[in-house]
């Protein structure tokens, strides 16, 4: 019922806005635009410029804000997360490396399911809890390789749907 009333009000406002504006000069010499000028004003001319349109969102229920819907993009490379303080501990004569460091969030999106991955192994950080701008989390990887290791960060990013 309320939506019908809003639509009718918008239609009435649109039809009223389609009329030309009248320019008036008040007795004090000021210019006035509108339908009902101050007393003693003199009509100067009609303004024939089209009026702009105003976009109106669907009215929310009184007392309740409409929640914005979000979607999670999963298993993507996270450019808002960076490595800090990465240390590599190689073992002489053994096909193994330990990698330690931190991941710092420096972006605008909320992320979760953050993983630091190397060849054949990943360390999931925060067990799926969200990570926000400025937050930092340590990681530890035991990589079965004597070769230099390239690390990558994976996560889920929350974005408006």
Cβ atoms 88, 97 nearer than 8 A: yes
Residue 17: its H or E element: helix 2-17
The span from the CA of 149 to the CA of 99, in Å, is: 9
- What's residue 15's pLDDT? 47
Local confidence pLDDT in tens for the 161 residues of the chain:
555 554 455 555 544 444 566 787 888 888 777 777 788 888 887 766 555 455 555 555 555 555 678 888 886 778 889 999 999 988 888 888 899 999 999 988 899 989 999 988 999 998 889 999 999 999 999 998 878 888 999 888 888 87
Start-end of CATH 2.60.40 domains in the chain: 70-160
Backbone angles phi, psi at 79, to 5 degrees: -80, -10
Nearest to 137 by CA among 127, 149, 151, 150: 127
SS3 call for 11:
helix
| Topology of the domain covering 70-160 | Immunoglobulin-like (2.60.40)
The span from the CA of 95 to the CA of 147, in Å, is: 8
Question: Given the DSSP bridges, would you call strands 97-105 and 42-47 parallel, antiparallel or unpaired?
Answer: unpaired
Cβ atoms 41, 26 nearer than 8 A: yes
- What's residue 56's pLDDT? 52
- What's residue 7's pLDDT? 47
SS3 call for 14:
helix
Token pair belonging to 80: 């808002």
CA 20 to chain centre: 39
């Amino acid at each position: 019922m309320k939506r019908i009333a809003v639509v009718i009000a918008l239609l009435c406002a649109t039809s009223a806005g389609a009329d030309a504006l009248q320019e008036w000069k008040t007795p004090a010499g000021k210019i006035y635009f509108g339908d009902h000028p101050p007393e003693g004003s003199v009509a100067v001319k009609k303004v024939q410029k089209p009026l702009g349109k105003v976009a109106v969102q669907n009215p929310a229920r009184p007392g309740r804000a409409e929640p914005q819907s979000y979607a999670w993009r999963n298993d993507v490379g996270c450019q808002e997360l960076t490595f800090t303080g990465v240390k590599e501990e190689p073992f002489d004569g053994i096909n193994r490396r330990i990698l330690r460091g931190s991941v710092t969030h420096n972006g605008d999106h909320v992320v979760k399911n953050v993983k630091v991955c190397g060849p054949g192994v990943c360390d999931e950080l925060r067990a799926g809890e969200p990570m926000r701008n400025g937050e930092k989390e340590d990681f530890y990887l035991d990589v079965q390789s004597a070769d230099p290791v390239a690390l990558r960060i994976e996560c889920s990013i929350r974005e408006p749907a």
